[in-house]
Amino acid sequence: MAESVGGPTRGRRTLRPLAGVLTALAVSLSGTAVSAIALPWFALATTGSAARTGLVAFCEMTPYVVVKLLSGPLVDRTGPRTVSWTTDLVSALAAAAVPLLHALDLLSFPVLLVLVALIGAARGPGDLAKEVLLPEAAERGRVPLERAAGLSGVIERLAATVGPAAGGVLVALLGPLTSLAVNTACFVLGSLIIAVTLPRGMGYAAEAAPSPDEESRREPGAEGAPEEPEKRGEAGYWQRFGEGLAFLRGEPLLLTIVAMVGVTNLLDAGFSTVLLPVWARESDNGPAAIGLLGGTTGAAAVVGSLVAAVYAHRLRRRTVFFAGFLLAGAPRFIVLAADAPMGVVLAVFAVSGFGAGFLNPVLGAVLYERIPRRLLGRVNAVGDSVARAGVPLGGLLLGAAVTSAGLVAVLSAAGAAYFLTTSLAGLRREWRELDRPGRGAGREPTRSAHQGR
């Protein structure tokens, strides 16, 4: 805690921390995307049960959501750099244990569930820590936060492109256990990158760091001036947690977004972890098709994100947001239910990915406008965890539904639910605020919404 609040903006410019955070994020997300194919396929291949495949996804995402929800204050106190590299190592050890125990014939299904739960529990605070590190890394490099967030979004899309494609190929050629070994290497590499490229103590200022404009207007000891790190450290865990929760409760638009995205996340999770693998098996397309579809969707999403960065700010946010969801959601479910030819399926998934590319720029602009910097980690932890609360249930519920009702019926019902959720939610009055500047994190709203995207 030797650095003062706002210190990174006063010293010499260095892009190393930003490059480190973005590179570690890319490596971690790529490994996670590979395991997202390898683990469900391993469970499906070894058990032959869609319900058990859904249970594997449930046991990974439940700890992810719960631990991430509760880890915001811990990340603030311990420091996101330390949390990031240590949790990546824990994830690597848990992922490495799966192929090792399987080779020794010691991997029972309950043991697999425990290891998957450990991976999810470690990923939650690890992902949050990287999100918290990004603003300070951008300030150290004197890179606009909006540009850094845009780079992060492009990396996320690229990882979603490369990861599933590589995962599908690896599973098809070498089996799911080899893919998990690749995932282990990714977590180890991500941990090393954070430990080597980021200076010690980085991130402690994130909790109460003002924007450069705020800091230049404040005198030490003045009302509203940031406290010293030691004084801020006196705040208790539940007090810190409650601050993030209270802020989110006072933002109707953010609450509405969290609720809607929570439903779509549930459906997306069930689609990727159960419906798509079962379709690939029943259609005889195999795991390579999963990778091909994931890669196609991710590549189209990268294009959509780039187009959105150039043009989306000239359009009404609400129109862009719901048009993106209209393309990204229900069509994927319907085309698989219709047993369409692979060429048609690829085309639909490409259009879906293009629409999805427009969503994060809009959401990112809204979040950075409305959440103060000092609360960004805790509000993100609460909001993201609530939005992901249905993810563990997605695979579990849809896996059980496929077992009882069949794949086509579940695909049709889930597609209809997706369409109704994203369409009817847009009628609520809170969405009118989407096109209006928020309270901001000490920044000029129009700059966040327009100049940086």
**pLDDT tens digits along 2-36:** 333 344 444 577 788 888 888 888 888 888 877 77
Q: How many domains are there within the chain? A: 1
Predicted local distance difference test score (pLDDT) of residue 365: 66
Q: pLDDT band for position 417 (50/70/90)?
A: very high
CATH number of 190's domain: 1.20.1250.20
Predicted local distance difference test score (pLDDT) of residue 234: 53
Q: Examine residue 218 and state whether it is found in any structural domain, yes or no.
A: no
Q: Examine residue 296 and state whether it is found in any structural domain, yes or no.
A: yes
User: For 180-186, what is the mean pLDDT?
Assistant: 84
Predicted local distance difference test score (pLDDT) of residue 440: 44
Predicted local distance difference test score (pLDDT) of residue 311: 67
Q: Examine residue 224 and state whether it is found in any structural domain, yes or no.
A: no
Predicted local distance difference test score (pLDDT) of residue 16: 84
Mean pLDDT of the chain: 77
Q: Examine residue 174 and state whether it is found in any structural domain, yes or no.
A: yes
Q: Examine residue 307 and state whether it is found in any structural domain, yes or no.
A: yes
Q: Examine residue 339 and state whether it is found in any structural domain, yes or no.
A: yes
Q: Examine residue 194 and state whether it is found in any structural domain, yes or no.
A: yes
User: For 77-90, what is the mean pLDDT?
Assistant: 86
Each residue of 298-336: pLDDT tens digit?
788 888 877 776 665 567 777 778 888 889 889 999 999
Range in 126-135, 148-157, 383-392 the model is least confident about? 148-157
Predicted local distance difference test score (pLDDT) of residue 312: 59
Boundaries of domain holding 168: 12-207+235-451
Q: Is the pLDDT of residue 202 over 80?
A: no
b/e 210-236 (16+ beta carbons within 10 angstroms → b): bbeebbeeeeeeeeeebeebeebeebe
Each residue of 88-144: pLDDT tens digit?
999 999 988 988 888 888 888 889 899 989 998 998 888 888 877 877 787 788 776
Q: Examine residue 7 and state whether it is found in any structural domain, yes or no.
A: no
Range in 206-220, 347-361, 370-384, 399-413 the model is least confident about? 206-220
Contact 282, 407 (CB under 8 A): yes
Higher pLDDT, 163 or 282: 282
Q: Is the pLDDT of residue 383 over 80?
A: yes
Q: Is the pLDDT of residue 399 over 80?
A: yes
Predicted local distance difference test score (pLDDT) of residue 105: 83
